[in-house]
Every structure is written in C-alpha cells, then in structure tokens.
C-alpha cells in the first residue's frame, strides 16, 4: 500500500470480550506480534491469560470502561481497539412483552451502547497520537448472502446490533481519516468458538462440523492483515469453506454494503 | 395493480410520528383510503391533525402523545388500537429524530444522543414491531410493517438517465448503486437506521408464513419538519424545490399496501431527490436468499 503503516510493536491494544473465541485469538496474536494487550471480559477466566494484561470488566458499564482506559494509558500509547465483546441470544419475534424489554438491554447494552462507550473513550487518545486502528467485529449477515440462514429470523436484535455497526464503521472511517485512524468491520461466517458451541448439546461442536468451520486464529490473522492493508471503511468478509483473504479493495459504497450489482 | 383485490378501506393502521412531515402525509393518505388510525407523536400538534382527519374523512382516529422509546407509550397505543379499532393491519414505524454526532464527541453527549437517537429510531420500531407482531399473527389476516429509514444506508440503483441530478448514479441498471450518502457527522443516526435492516430481514422471514410483509423506505431529502430543521427552519426556495414531497411518498405507500400479501417483501425501497417518486419494480434482495421468503417455509 502507498501509505506506510507505523509499527505496532510496544504499543497498546485494547481487546474487549477477550476471554475466549475470536477475542482471545486476537489478543494472543497481538501479544505475539509485540503489542501490549489490555484484554478484558466479564468472564473471570480472562485472569488466566497472564501473558496479556487481563482485566475483568464489562463494556456495558461506564465505570468499567473508564477503568479500562485508565489502565491502558498506564501501559503506553493506545494504537488499536478491537471491539469484539458481544452478546448473542435467541429473541423470538413473538416473545412476551417483559421479555421484549429485557432482550433489548441484554443485546444492545453490550453490542451497541457498550461498543459506543468504549470507542468514544478511546478515540481521543488515537487522535492525540495521530494514528490508530479500530476493528468492529460484525457478522456475515451484513454482506450479500451466499447461502440460506443469514439474518437469522430468531435473532432480530443481535442482527440489528451488528447492522448498526455499519453506521459507525462508515462514519468513523470518514471522520477519522485525517487523523490517520483506520476503521474497519469484520463480517465472518460461523467460527468455532464457545459462543457457537453453546448451541450444541453438551456445549460441544460435533467434530464433523468443527472441521468445516472457520478458526478463531484465521480471523485473528485476517485482522492483522486488515490493519496492515491501509484500507479503511470496509466490511471484510470471511466465509466458511473459502480461504480467508482480504480480497481486492472494492470501490466506494461497496466497501460497506458488499454489493457488486444492483 | 391489485387495487380491487386489496382495498384498504376498513383496515386499521398505527402511524408513529404522525404530527408532521412524512408521518402526517402517511396518516392523511391512509385516512383518505378509509383506513382507521391509531396515531402517536411526541408533539402536541398531533391533536390538531387528529381533529382535522375526523372532520374531513370518514375514519376513526385515535391519538396518543408520547415518546416511542417509552414502552408504556407503545403499550398505550397498541392496546388502545386493539380496544378501539379491534385489530391492527398496518404498522408504519415512522417516528425518527436527527442529531449531529461524530466519532470524537465526548462520552456524556454520546450517551444522551444514544438514548434519543437510537432510542427513537431503533428501539421505537423494535418496541412497536414486537408489540404488534403477536397480535397480527393471532388475528391471522396478514398485515404490513413499514419502517422508515434513510438513503444513507441504501442508495439508489437508478441509472443516471433517470436521475440526471446525481452524477454518481450508475449509467445502467446492472451497475452497483452510487456511493452511500452517509457522511461523518451523523454516526448514531446512521447506525440507528442501518440497524433497522436487522428487523427487516428477520421479521420478513419469520412473518412470511403469516402473510405479514415487512418493507422499508430509505428516504432521501423530503420536505419535512426534520429536513427544515437542518436548515434552521428557513430553507431557500431553491433548496425546497429540489426536495421530494411527503405527499408523493405517501401515494407510493398506498400503492405498496395495495399490493397485498403477495406483493414485494423484505425490500429497502430507495427514494432520492431528482428521480420520480414512484413504486419501482422490486429489487433483488441481496442479504437473504429470496427462496427463504417462500410461502411454504
């Protein structure tokens, strides 16, 4: 790429939802590549990741977000935010009213409001440094369908929370471009993670299916490649059964929508 | 096309944000078609519209003042509609607010904006949808849900020979749409409207077997209270003359509803300035396979 990407070595990365799955794989990769990784999660298992800078914190709670930022600033210069923490839940369209109200907060307080709080808190520091990256973890639901089952009819709130991130990725990439801050979304298909395993009996993905799924490490590597691509304002797809690559950079609007035809 | 098969007379609609702009035009057009109305708006002017419609049309009109992000208001309107109109056939999730917000806003402002913008534009449609859907399913007579979104998220695929005012339009139908008009200074507004896609596709798939359609209008610049507020309520005549008319969009809404249960579904229909405001042929649905909307599913 034409623009030189400053080295991330020794700089600070913040990864939300880092106790397992994609978040953990990203945190480990960033650590291996020499970043100081503030890895937080509501799950206390995060504390076992002692090569990282682990912290028990909830992205949906303002005081937790503030304490994460304070710790990150003590570690050094923040250069990367991986907005990975998310909740997922079956939210049937004909649920009773009390459930309707509770489900809104269960999904949105983390996936949208929490992500907003963490990002708003990090962005001034990236701007001050004149450089940085933000990765918004999304879903392949926001890219054109290649198979049945996308935009699951049983998870309307989860779907909405991820679609909404398009607004952030698009607007932030434009607003922050002059500050050399790149903002991208990652739109992956089914990845072999504990979140997915919870859908199966005994919380175990059957081996035959597990071999087909994307691996968290593939997503982490794709994230690393995105950061070094110089590209911004784009939803990068990753598909089960296909190589995980960045593909060629699409023009304009297609970066977010993935649409190549009307 | 199906005007005689699916007359709207006697049907019952909820229109949110009905006091001004598009909502007012929708409510008026529906009343003229003989659709009974349950209206709400945060603005007190709603009462005036309700009185006018009662006076000049033959339909029943009920109105509630309140905030669509407030679950109590939603229950008042939906339960009130069931009680007074004995059913709900149409839900128009129109209420929306605009506000400037951007990546480096401070946290305090952002949390306030989240409550107002995401609360009104995303939580409101969610609450109304989820309150109405179980009742529509139980009624068993189908229905229509229409969410009002923005051309910031879905852009026009109309070739430039049809809309010459936009140089970034494609030159023929097979080309991709023009770039998003979403900018950098409305991130929460854009997020709230993009989020509606989550409801569009999930609801359309879930509700197809119940003959309930879900569609969205992705609105470009329309002469409305919201757009006039961008211009400090003092837009130039030239500016105003370039905008679409809310009444024209309301006419398209009526045409869409008249398609009946076998009409288009899961569509983001784009309306942008410089092109005719009309019901176009359905677009391909790119984000779910169209086979998933088959009746037998």
User: Residue A237: its pLDDT value, please?
Assistant: 98
User: Residue B270: its pLDDT value, please?
Assistant: 86
Partner-chain contact A171 B175, CB within 8 Å? no
Q: What is the pLDDT of residues B72-81, one digit of tens each?
A: 999 999 999 9
Residue B172 has pLDDT above 80, yes or no: no
Higher per-residue pLDDT: B289 or B181? B289
Q: Within 10 A of B114 (CB to CB), how many other CB atoms are there? A: 22
Q: What is the mean pLDDT of residues A130-158?
A: 96
Helical (H) or strand (E) element with A207: helix A207-210
CB B45, CB B23: distance < 8 Å? no
Chain A residues with beta carbon closer than 8 angstroms to that of B105: 120
User: Residue A97: its pLDDT value, please?
Assistant: 98
Chain B residues with beta carbon closer than 8 angstroms to that of A252: 178-180
Partner-chain contact A94 B137, CB within 8 Å? yes
Chain A residues with beta carbon closer than 8 angstroms to that of B202: 93, 151-156, 159
Partner-chain contact B198 A164, CB within 8 Å? yes
Residue A150 has pLDDT above 50, yes or no: yes
* Mutation target among A65, A164, A181 for the B interface, most CBs of B within 10 A: A164
Interface of B with A in 132-191 (CB under 8 A): 133-134, 137, 152-155, 157, 170, 173-180, 182-191
Q: What is the mean pLDDT of residues A71-77?
A: 97
What token pair was written down for A92? 């049937």
Give the whole-angstrom CA distance, residue A135 versus residue A80.
8
User: Residue B1: its pLDDT value, please?
Assistant: 46
* Mutation target among B177, B179, B191 for the A interface, most CBs of A within 10 A: B191
Give the whole-angstrom CA distance, residue B22 versus residue B28.
10
Q: Report the candidate in A155, A104, A184 with the shortest Cα–Cα distance to residue B118.
A: A104
Residue A262 has pLDDT above 60, yes or no: no
Q: What is the pLDDT of residues B206-265, one digit of tens each?
A: 999 999 999 999 998 898 888 888 888 889 988 888 889 999 999 999 999 999 999 999
Q: What is the mean pLDDT of residues B269-285?
A: 84
pTM for the structure as a whole: 0.95
Residue A260 has pLDDT above 90, yes or no: no
Q: Within 10 A of A54 (CB to CB), how many other CB atoms are there? A: 21
Higher per-residue pLDDT: A223 or B151? A223
Of A116, A163, A261, the CB nearest to B195: A163
Report the chain B residue with the minimal C-alpha distance to residue A161: B195
ipTM at complex level: 0.96
Residue B297 has pLDDT above 80, yes or no: no
Query: Residue B173: pLDDT band by 50, 70, 90 thresholds?
Result: low
What token pair was written down for A109? 């307080």
Q: State the count of interchain CB pairs (< 8 A) between A and B.
A: 205
Q: What is the mean pLDDT of residues B256-280?
A: 89
Q: What is the mean pLDDT of residues A205-224?
A: 94
Give the whole-angstrom CA distance, residue A218 versus residue A193.
12
CA distance from start to end of chain A = 29
Report the chain A residue with the minimal C-alpha distance to residue B101: A171
**Whose structure tokens read 């033959």?**
B58
User: Residue B164: its pLDDT value, please?
Assistant: 56
User: Residue B153: its pLDDT value, please?
Assistant: 77
Partner-chain contact B198 A97, CB within 8 Å? no
User: Residue B157: its pLDDT value, please?
Assistant: 57
């Amino acid at each position: 790429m034409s623009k030189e990407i400053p080295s991330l070595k020794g700089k600070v990365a913040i990864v939300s939802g880092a106790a397992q799955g994609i978040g953990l794989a990203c945190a480990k990769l960033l650590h291996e590549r020499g970043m100081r990784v503030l890895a937080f999660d509501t799950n206390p298992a995060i504390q076992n990741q002692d090569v990282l800078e682990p912290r028990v914190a909830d992205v949906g709670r303002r005081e937790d977000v503030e304490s994460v930022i304070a710790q990150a600033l003590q570690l050094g210069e923040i250069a990367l935010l991986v907005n990975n923490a998310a909740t997922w839940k079956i939210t049937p369209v004909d649920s009773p009213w009390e459930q309707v109200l509770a489900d809104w907060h269960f999904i949105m307080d983390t996936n949208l409001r929490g992500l907003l709080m963490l990002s708003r808190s990090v962005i001034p520091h990236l701007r001050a440094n004149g450089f940085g990256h933000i990765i918004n973890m999304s879903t392949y639901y926001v890219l054109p369908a290649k198979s049945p089952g996308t935009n699951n009819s049983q998870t309307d709130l989860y779907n909405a929370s991820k679609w909404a991130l398009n607004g952030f990725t698009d607007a932030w990439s434009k607003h922050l471009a002059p500050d050399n801050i790149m903002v991208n979304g990652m739109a992956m298909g089914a990845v072999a993670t504990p979140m997915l395993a919870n859908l199966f009996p005994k919380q175990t993905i059957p081996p035959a299916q597990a071999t087909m799924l994307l691996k968290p490490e593939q997503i982490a590597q794709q994230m690393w490649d995105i950061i070094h691509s110089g590209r911004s304002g784009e939803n990068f797809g990753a598909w089960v059964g296909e190589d995980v690559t960045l593909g060629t950079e699409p023009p304009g609007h297609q970066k977010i929508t993935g649409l190549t035809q009307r | 096309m199906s005007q005689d098969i699916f007359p709207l007379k006697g049907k019952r609609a909820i229109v949110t944000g009905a006091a001004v702009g598009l909502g007012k035009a929708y409510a008026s057009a529906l009343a003229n078609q003989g659709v009974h109305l349950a209206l709400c708006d945060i603005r007190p002017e709603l009462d005036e519209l309700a009185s006018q419609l009662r006076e000049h049309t033959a339909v029943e009109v009920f109105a509630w003042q309140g905030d669509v992000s407030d679950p109590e208001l939603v229950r008042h309107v939906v339960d009130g509609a069931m009680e007074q109109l004995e059913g709900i056939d149409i839900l128009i999730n129109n209420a929306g607010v605009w506000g400037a917000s951007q990546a480096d806003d401070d946290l305090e402002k952002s949390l306030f904006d989240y409550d107002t913008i995401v609360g009104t534009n995303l939580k409101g449609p969610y609450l109304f949808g989820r309150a109405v859907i179980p009742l529509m399913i139980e009624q068993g007579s189908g229905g229509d849900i229409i969410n009002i979104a923005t051309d910031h998220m879905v852009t026009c695929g109309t070739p430039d020979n049809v809309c010459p005012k936009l140089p970034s339009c494609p030159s023929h139908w097979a080309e991709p749409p023009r770039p998003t008009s979403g900018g950098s200074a409305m991130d929460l507004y854009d997020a709230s409207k993009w989020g509606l896609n989550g409801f569009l596709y999930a609801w359309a798939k879930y509700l197809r077997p119940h003959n309930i359609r879900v569609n969205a209008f992705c609105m470009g610049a329309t002469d409305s209270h919201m757009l006039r507020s961008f211009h400090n309520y003092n837009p130039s005549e030239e500016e105003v003359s370039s905008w679409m008319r809310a009444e024209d969009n309301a006419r398209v809404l009526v045409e869409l509803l008249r398609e009946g249960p076998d009409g288009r579904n899961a569509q983001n229909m784009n309306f942008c300035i410089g092109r005719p405001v009309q019901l176009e042929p359905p677009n391909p649905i790119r984000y779910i396979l169209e086979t998933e909307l088959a009746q037998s599913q």
